[in-house]
Amino acid sequence: MMRYYYPSCKFKIAFPEISEKIIKYLNKKSIETKGCCRIDHRQLNEIDTGITICTNCSLILKEVSKAHIYSLWEIIDQDKNFLLPRLNNSTCIIQHCAKADDNIKKAVCSLIDKTGTSYRISSHDDYCGFNFMQHMSSENLKIAPKTFSALEKKVVLLNEEHRREKITDLIKEYDGKQVIVYCNSCYKVLKENGANVIHIAELLF
Protein backbone atom coordinates (compact mmCIF):
# COMPACT_ATOMS: atom_id res chain seq x y z
CA MET A 1 0.00 0.00 0.00
CA MET A 2 1.36 3.40 -1.04
CA ARG A 3 0.28 6.97 -0.33
CA TYR A 4 0.77 9.57 -3.04
CA TYR A 5 0.32 13.33 -3.04
CA TYR A 6 -0.82 15.13 -6.20
CA PRO A 7 0.32 18.76 -5.70
CA SER A 8 -1.79 20.39 -8.47
CA CYS A 9 0.04 22.02 -11.36
CA LYS A 10 -1.92 25.27 -10.96
CA PHE A 11 -1.40 25.44 -7.19
CA LYS A 12 2.36 24.92 -7.57
CA ILE A 13 2.51 27.86 -10.00
CA ALA A 14 0.35 30.13 -7.83
CA PHE A 15 1.98 29.23 -4.49
CA PRO A 16 5.46 27.75 -5.14
CA GLU A 17 6.86 28.31 -1.63
CA ILE A 18 3.76 27.00 0.13
CA SER A 19 3.69 24.02 -2.21
CA GLU A 20 7.22 23.10 -1.13
CA LYS A 21 6.27 23.38 2.55
CA ILE A 22 3.33 21.05 1.99
CA ILE A 23 5.52 18.53 0.20
CA LYS A 24 8.02 18.57 3.08
CA TYR A 25 5.21 18.09 5.60
CA LEU A 26 3.87 15.08 3.70
CA ASN A 27 7.31 13.63 3.08
CA LYS A 28 7.75 13.36 6.85
CA LYS A 29 4.66 11.17 6.81
CA SER A 30 6.21 8.95 4.13
CA ILE A 31 3.79 10.27 1.52
CA GLU A 32 5.39 10.36 -1.91
CA THR A 33 4.79 13.35 -4.19
CA LYS A 34 3.76 12.62 -7.76
CA GLY A 35 3.29 14.91 -10.76
CA CYS A 36 0.16 15.70 -12.77
CA CYS A 37 -2.94 13.71 -11.85
CA ARG A 38 -3.81 13.30 -15.53
CA ILE A 39 -0.63 11.31 -16.10
CA ASP A 40 0.57 9.88 -12.79
CA HIS A 41 -2.79 8.42 -11.73
CA ARG A 42 -1.75 5.26 -13.56
CA GLN A 43 0.44 4.27 -10.62
CA LEU A 44 -2.49 4.14 -8.19
CA ASN A 45 -3.76 0.70 -7.22
CA GLU A 46 -6.90 -0.25 -5.30
CA ILE A 47 -5.06 -0.47 -2.00
CA ASP A 48 -3.28 2.87 -2.47
CA THR A 49 -4.25 6.33 -1.23
CA GLY A 50 -4.21 9.49 -3.30
CA ILE A 51 -4.09 12.88 -1.58
CA THR A 52 -5.07 16.06 -3.40
CA ILE A 53 -5.03 19.78 -2.79
CA CYS A 54 -7.19 20.60 -5.82
CA THR A 55 -10.90 19.84 -6.19
CA ASN A 56 -10.40 19.18 -9.89
CA CYS A 57 -7.63 16.65 -9.23
CA SER A 58 -9.84 14.98 -6.66
CA LEU A 59 -12.70 14.57 -9.13
CA ILE A 60 -10.39 13.17 -11.80
CA LEU A 61 -8.67 10.69 -9.51
CA LYS A 62 -11.96 9.44 -8.09
CA GLU A 63 -13.15 8.56 -11.58
CA VAL A 64 -9.98 7.22 -13.21
CA SER A 65 -8.63 5.21 -10.28
CA LYS A 66 -9.95 2.76 -7.70
CA ALA A 67 -7.70 4.11 -4.96
CA HIS A 68 -8.84 5.85 -1.80
CA ILE A 69 -8.82 9.60 -2.46
CA TYR A 70 -8.63 12.22 0.29
CA SER A 71 -8.04 15.95 0.34
CA LEU A 72 -5.02 17.45 2.06
CA TRP A 73 -7.44 19.20 4.42
CA GLU A 74 -8.81 15.87 5.64
CA ILE A 75 -5.27 14.67 6.33
CA ILE A 76 -4.36 17.79 8.30
CA ASP A 77 -7.67 17.82 10.18
CA GLN A 78 -6.90 14.30 11.43
CA ASP A 79 -3.30 15.15 12.34
CA LYS A 80 -3.26 15.86 16.08
CA ASN A 81 0.36 17.01 15.86
CA PHE A 82 -0.21 19.65 13.20
CA LEU A 83 0.43 23.08 14.69
CA LEU A 84 -2.56 25.17 13.65
CA PRO A 85 -2.32 28.97 13.79
CA ARG A 86 -4.39 30.76 16.42
CA LEU A 87 -6.06 33.58 14.53
CA ASN A 88 -8.85 34.85 16.81
CA ASN A 89 -10.04 37.12 14.03
CA SER A 90 -13.46 38.57 13.51
CA THR A 91 -15.90 36.55 11.45
CA CYS A 92 -14.62 35.38 8.09
CA ILE A 93 -16.48 33.72 5.24
CA ILE A 94 -15.82 30.25 3.88
CA GLN A 95 -16.59 30.07 0.19
CA HIS A 96 -17.18 26.42 -0.58
CA CYS A 97 -16.43 25.12 -4.05
CA ALA A 98 -19.18 23.54 -6.12
CA LYS A 99 -16.74 20.77 -7.07
CA ALA A 100 -16.00 19.79 -3.48
CA ASP A 101 -17.63 16.86 -1.70
CA ASP A 102 -18.97 16.92 1.86
CA ASN A 103 -15.78 15.47 3.33
CA ILE A 104 -13.69 18.32 1.96
CA LYS A 105 -16.18 20.91 3.17
CA LYS A 106 -16.34 19.42 6.67
CA ALA A 107 -12.56 19.26 6.97
CA VAL A 108 -12.12 22.88 5.90
CA CYS A 109 -14.76 24.09 8.35
CA SER A 110 -13.20 22.02 11.12
CA LEU A 111 -9.74 23.46 10.49
CA ILE A 112 -10.97 27.05 10.47
CA ASP A 113 -12.94 26.40 13.63
CA LYS A 114 -9.80 25.07 15.34
CA THR A 115 -7.92 28.30 14.56
CA GLY A 116 -10.28 30.17 16.86
CA THR A 117 -11.86 32.19 14.07
CA SER A 118 -15.61 32.38 13.81
CA TYR A 119 -17.02 32.03 10.32
CA ARG A 120 -20.10 31.91 8.23
CA ILE A 121 -20.53 29.93 5.05
CA SER A 122 -21.34 31.70 1.81
CA SER A 123 -24.81 30.87 0.54
CA HIS A 124 -23.39 30.55 -2.98
CA ASP A 125 -22.68 26.83 -3.08
CA ASP A 126 -22.69 26.79 -6.90
CA TYR A 127 -19.48 28.78 -7.20
CA CYS A 128 -16.21 27.64 -8.78
CA GLY A 129 -14.63 30.63 -10.46
CA PHE A 130 -16.02 30.87 -13.97
CA ASN A 131 -16.30 27.09 -14.33
CA PHE A 132 -20.09 26.96 -14.33
CA MET A 133 -20.46 29.99 -16.59
CA GLN A 134 -18.71 28.28 -19.53
CA HIS A 135 -18.35 24.76 -20.88
CA MET A 136 -16.29 22.21 -18.99
CA SER A 137 -12.80 21.93 -20.47
CA SER A 138 -12.31 19.38 -23.22
CA GLU A 139 -9.34 17.91 -21.29
CA ASN A 140 -11.47 17.19 -18.25
CA LEU A 141 -14.32 15.79 -20.33
CA LYS A 142 -11.88 13.47 -22.05
CA ILE A 143 -10.12 12.07 -19.00
CA ALA A 144 -13.14 11.89 -16.65
CA PRO A 145 -16.20 11.93 -18.92
CA LYS A 146 -18.72 10.64 -16.39
CA THR A 147 -17.89 13.26 -13.76
CA PHE A 148 -17.51 16.26 -16.02
CA SER A 149 -20.46 15.42 -18.24
CA ALA A 150 -22.60 15.57 -15.10
CA LEU A 151 -21.06 18.93 -14.17
CA GLU A 152 -21.62 20.21 -17.70
CA LYS A 153 -25.36 19.93 -17.09
CA LYS A 154 -25.03 22.57 -14.36
CA VAL A 155 -23.41 25.08 -16.71
CA VAL A 156 -25.25 28.33 -17.43
CA LEU A 157 -23.39 30.00 -20.27
CA LEU A 158 -22.57 33.66 -19.70
CA ASN A 159 -20.47 36.04 -21.75
CA GLU A 160 -17.46 37.78 -20.23
CA GLU A 161 -19.44 40.87 -19.18
CA HIS A 162 -22.13 38.88 -17.38
CA ARG A 163 -19.55 36.65 -15.70
CA ARG A 164 -17.89 39.73 -14.24
CA GLU A 165 -21.22 41.11 -13.11
CA LYS A 166 -22.08 37.89 -11.31
CA ILE A 167 -18.72 37.79 -9.53
CA THR A 168 -19.03 41.47 -8.58
CA ASP A 169 -22.44 40.79 -7.02
CA LEU A 170 -20.99 37.84 -5.09
CA ILE A 171 -18.10 39.92 -3.76
CA LYS A 172 -20.49 42.65 -2.61
CA GLU A 173 -22.23 40.08 -0.41
CA TYR A 174 -18.93 39.38 1.37
CA ASP A 175 -19.14 42.97 2.69
CA GLY A 176 -15.35 43.36 2.86
CA LYS A 177 -14.82 40.36 5.15
CA GLN A 178 -11.96 37.96 4.58
CA VAL A 179 -12.98 35.05 2.37
CA ILE A 180 -11.32 31.66 2.75
CA VAL A 181 -11.21 29.29 -0.22
CA TYR A 182 -9.48 26.00 -1.05
CA CYS A 183 -9.99 25.80 -4.81
CA ASN A 184 -7.62 27.18 -7.47
CA SER A 185 -10.42 28.51 -9.67
CA CYS A 186 -12.33 30.02 -6.76
CA TYR A 187 -9.19 31.78 -5.55
CA LYS A 188 -8.04 33.05 -8.95
CA VAL A 189 -11.29 34.72 -9.97
CA LEU A 190 -12.02 36.26 -6.57
CA LYS A 191 -8.46 37.58 -6.29
CA GLU A 192 -8.51 39.08 -9.77
CA ASN A 193 -11.77 40.85 -9.01
CA GLY A 194 -10.68 42.49 -5.77
CA ALA A 195 -12.09 40.22 -3.07
CA ASN A 196 -10.34 40.01 0.31
CA VAL A 197 -9.57 36.36 -0.33
CA ILE A 198 -7.01 33.95 1.09
CA HIS A 199 -6.33 30.31 0.28
CA ILE A 200 -6.55 28.05 3.33
CA ALA A 201 -3.05 26.79 2.51
CA GLU A 202 -1.75 30.32 3.14
CA LEU A 203 -3.21 30.17 6.65
CA LEU A 204 -1.94 26.71 7.50
CA PHE A 205 1.53 26.93 5.97
What three-state secondary structure class fits 195? coil
pLDDT interval class at 42 (50, 70, 90): confident
Question: Is the pLDDT reported for residue 84 higher than 90?
Answer: yes
Residue 24: per-residue pLDDT: 98
CB 118 within 8 A of CB 91: yes
pLDDT of residue 132: 97
User: What percent of the chain has a predicted confidence (pLDDT) above 70?
Assistant: 100
Binning pLDDT at 50, 70 and 90, where does residue 128 land? Answer: very high
Q: Which pLDDT score is estimated for 171?
A: 97
Q: What pLDDT, on the 0 to 100 scale, is given for residue 41?
A: 81
> What's the predicted TM-score (pTM) here?
0.96
Triad 39, 40, 43: Cα angle to 5°: 130
Q: Taking 80 as the threshold, does the pLDDT of residue 88 lie above it?
A: no
Q: Residue 145's pLDDT is what?
A: 98
Looking at residues 51-65, what average pLDDT do you find? 97
Q: In what order do the strands lie in the sheet with 32-33?
A: 32-33, 3-6, 49-52, 68-71
- The pLDDT assigned to 91 comes to 87
DSSP 132-161: TSSPPPHHHHHHSHHHHHHHHTT-----HH
* Digit-coded pLDDT (tens) for 90-117: 789 999 999 999 999 999 999 999 999 9
- The three-state secondary structure class of 18 is helix
CB atoms closer than 10 angstroms to residue 150: 12
Residue 91 half-sphere exposure, CB side, CA atoms within 13 Å? 8
Taking only the tens place, the pLDDT of each residue in 159-188 is 999 999 999 999 999 999 999 999 999 999
CA of residue 61 relative to chain centroid, distance: 14
Phi, psi of 51, rounded to the nearest 5 degrees: -120, 130
Q: What percent of the chain has pLDDT over 90?
A: 94
